[in-house]
Amino acid sequence: MPHTHESEEHQALREAVSTLGKRHGRNFDPDQLWADAAKLGYLGVNLPEAYGGGGGGISELSIVLEELGAAGCPLLMMIVSPAICGTVIARFGTDTQKQQWLPALADGTRTMAFGITEPDAGSNSHRITTTARIAAGGNWLLTGRKVFISGVDKADATLIVGRTEDARTGALKPCLFIVPRDTPGFEYRRIPMELQATEKQFELTLDDVRLPAEALVGDENAGLLQLFAGLNPERIMTAAFAIGMGRYALAQAITYARDRTVWNQPIGAHQAIAHPLAQSHIELELARLMMRKAAYLYDAGDDVAAGEAANMAKYAAGEACVKAVDQAVHTLGGNGLTSEFGLASLITAARVSRIAPVSREMILNYVSHQTLGLPKSY
Nearest-angstrom CA–CA distance, 328 and 336? 7
Long-range pairs for 15-23: beta carbons < 8 A, 24 or more residues apart: 16/40, 17/42, 17/63, 17/64, 17/67, 17/68, 18/67, 18/70, 18/71, 20/68, 20/71, 21/67, 21/68, 21/69, 21/70, 21/71, 21/72, 21/73, 22/71
Nearest-angstrom CA–CA distance, 130 and 206? 8
pLDDT tens profile 165-204: 776 777 778 899 999 999 999 999 999 998 878 889 999 9
- Phi, psi angles (nearest 5°) of residue 187: -125, 145
According to the model, what pLDDT value does residue 137 have? 87
Q: How much is the pTM? A: 0.95
Length of the chain counted residue by residue: 378
According to the model, what pLDDT value does residue 2 have? 47
Q: What percent of the chain has pLDDT over 70?
A: 96
Helix (H, G, I), strand (E, B) or coil at 97: helix
Beta pairing, strands 261-262 & 265-266 = antiparallel
List C-alpha distances in Å: 46 to 41, 83, 235: 10, 8, 15
Q: Partners of 112 in the beta sheet?
A: 157
Per-residue confidence band for 122, with pLDDT thresholds at 50, 70 and 90: low
- Phi, psi angles (nearest 5°) of residue 198: -70, -30
Instruction: Give the residue from 79, 11, 345, 28 showing the smallest Cα distance to 230.
Output: 79
Instruction: Give the residue from 253, 370, 242 showing the smallest Cα distance to 309.
Output: 370
Non-local CB neighbours of 337 within 8 Å, separated by 6+ positions: 329, 343, 344
Per-residue confidence band for 4, with pLDDT thresholds at 50, 70 and 90: low
Q: Please name each of the domains of the chain with its CATH number.
A: 8-106 (1.10.540.10), 112-220 (2.40.110.10), 224-371 (1.20.140.10)
**Mean pLDDT on 91-100:** 95
The alpha carbons of the chain give a radius of gyration, in whole angstroms, of 21
pLDDT tens profile 17-55: 999 999 999 999 999 999 999 999 999 999 999 999 999
Contact call for residues 85 and 114 (beta carbons, < 8 A): yes
Nearest-angstrom CA–CA distance, 17 and 347? 24
Helix, strand, coil % over all residues of the chain, rounded to 5? 55, 15, 30
Contact call for residues 323 and 280 (beta carbons, < 8 A): yes
According to the model, what pLDDT value does residue 166 have? 72
pLDDT tens profile 202-261: 999 999 999 999 999 987 766 677 777 889 999 999 999 999 999 999 999 999 999 999
More confident of the two residues 226 and 143: 143
